[in-house]
Amino acid sequence: MAAITPTRPYHIIIFGATGFTGQFVVEEVARCAAESTDSFSLKWAVAGRSRQRLEEVMKRAAGRLSMPELSTDIEVIVADVSIEESLAIMCQQGVVILNCVGPYRFHGEPVVKACIENGAHYVDICGEPQFLERMQLQYHTKALDRGVYVIGSCGFDSIPADLGMLYTQKQFKGTLTGVESFLNISSGTEGSCGHDATWQSAVYGFADSGSLRQLRKKFGHNPLPVVGARIRKRGFVFYSKELEQYAIPFMGSDPSVVKRTQRFLYEEEQQSPVQYNAYVGVGGLFSVVKLFCGGLLFWFMVKFSLGRKLLTTFPSIFSFGLFTKAGPTMKQIEDTAFTLTFLGEGYSEGTEPSQGPPNTKICTQVVGAEPGYVATVTAMVQAAVTVLDELHSLPRRGGVYTPGAAFYKTSLIDRLHNHSIKFSVRSYQ
């Protein structure tokens, strides 16, 4: 594990520990620290803008985990995104900062900058492509020069998709050329929902979706070559026999993250790039109609500041209860789970992709508990532990990376598998 020093005394600092997600991260890090041995004792601290609220979080976590020592032994660091000096002081004390302060488009950049300037690695759970890609454009060289890793999207967005793709590539015997993923979220009688901050990220992300095209132009990338047969894009709504329900294209950060990883593997590791399309199940016909009406209203409203104000003030109404200010209940969290299925095609060993249609298929799955706060937290904490344990297996000596690019040569998939995010090869139906 990366060495701590008297001046940098913490392996992990959880920034935004008072947030809805931050509180779960606190519990997961506490569990990990309790499992660590004397020779690898994990030292950690929490950070946020209110000492009192942080102390309350520690007390609550201590009660929930029956670990009274948490409320007295864990250091509390006061830091505010708007106070640069406070971020510097925080970043000087940690090897890895787990940034849970979002929406990232509003709060993320000063934290990335402070981490780079003060030599702390950075891990977040951002699902906002504009922020993730902009950080890569603006900070990759600076992070590389400083020997700092900045690894975004280490939550449910987009570790299961990105590492699921890596897993599928590794399991495929031959040249994998195209993959479609199908996300299914199952919930109990009370349904499932997300917390307000994720809804806000989505509202402002869709409102600003045009800027992504401009941003991508600035990278000046050539298009990735299409190897083998081109995979077709399905329609906007279609009946998926894979999911046995209607499905739509997945509008989160997964396609952006997976494509960036594929570019990294092509350019840095000379791997054959894999085409990727992502879909999500939405249920029966009634859900499709509801989604269509809600989607139209959403697209219209995000374009205007008054519309955005209404959307963010009344998340529950405009998302049909999918996002609420209170976030999911423990019962909803416990009863929810996800399955991400990858259907891939390609060419068996010894067959040239230029010689006709694909001749081999593969089906893999990533399965886990509730995505937003259980799988997200597991993924984020395991990503941080991998940075601490396997720093020398990360690419180059620093930089801004997707999870797939950063962890390509590490054991993160095994670590996730051992912590209830299961990867498997299935028989192709």
- Residues of the shown chain interacting with ligand NAP in the complex, contacts defined by CB under 6 A: 16, 18-22, 48-50, 53, 80-82, 100-104, 107, 125, 127, 155-157, 195, 197-198, 201, 372, 376
Q: Is 58 exposed, middle or buried (0-12, 13-18, 19+ CB in 10 A)?
A: buried
SS3 state at 174:
strand
Structure tokens at 126: 């951002």
Phi/psi at 237 (nearest 5 deg)? -135, 135
Report in angstroms how near the CB of residue 384 gets to ligand NAP at its nearest. 14
Report in angstroms how near the CB of residue 156 gets to ligand NAP at its nearest. 4
Please, which residue, 20 or 167, has the CB nearer to ligand NAP? 20
Report in angstroms how near the CB of residue 276 gets to ligand NAP at its nearest. 18
Please, which residue, 100 or 366, has the CB nearer to ligand NAP? 100
Please, which residue, 248 or 383, has the CB nearer to ligand NAP? 383
Report in angstroms how near the CB of residue 372 gets to ligand NAP at its nearest. 5
- Please, which residues have CB within 8 angstroms of residue 93's CB and are 6 or more apart in sequence? 7, 8, 9, 10, 13, 45, 77
Closest residue (Cβ) to ligand NAP?
A: 102
Report in angstroms how near the CB of residue 286 gets to ligand NAP at its nearest. 27
Please, which residue, 176 or 257, has the CB nearer to ligand NAP? 257
Phi/psi at 77 (nearest 5 deg)? -115, 130
Report in angstroms how near the CB of residue 100 gets to ligand NAP at its nearest. 5
DSSP string, 29-72: HHHHHHHS-GGGPPPEEEEES-HHHHHHHHHHHHHHHT-TTHHH
Please, which residue, 45 or 362, has the CB nearer to ligand NAP? 45
Please, which residue, 127 or 273, has the CB nearer to ligand NAP? 127
Please, which residue, 81 or 280, has the CB nearer to ligand NAP? 81
Report in angstroms how near the CB of residue 13 gets to ligand NAP at its nearest. 12
- Please, which residues have CB within 8 angstroms of residue 289's CB and are 6 or more apart in sequence? none
SS3 state at 370:
coil
Task: Put residue 70 in one of left, alpha, beta given phi > 0 → left and psi -120 to 50 → alpha.
Answer: alpha
The CA-to-CA distance between both ends of the chain, in Å, stands at 43
Quote the CA–CA distance of 104 and 88 in Å, as a whole number: 18
Q: What is the dihedral of CA 64, 66, 71, 75, to 10 degrees?
A: -90
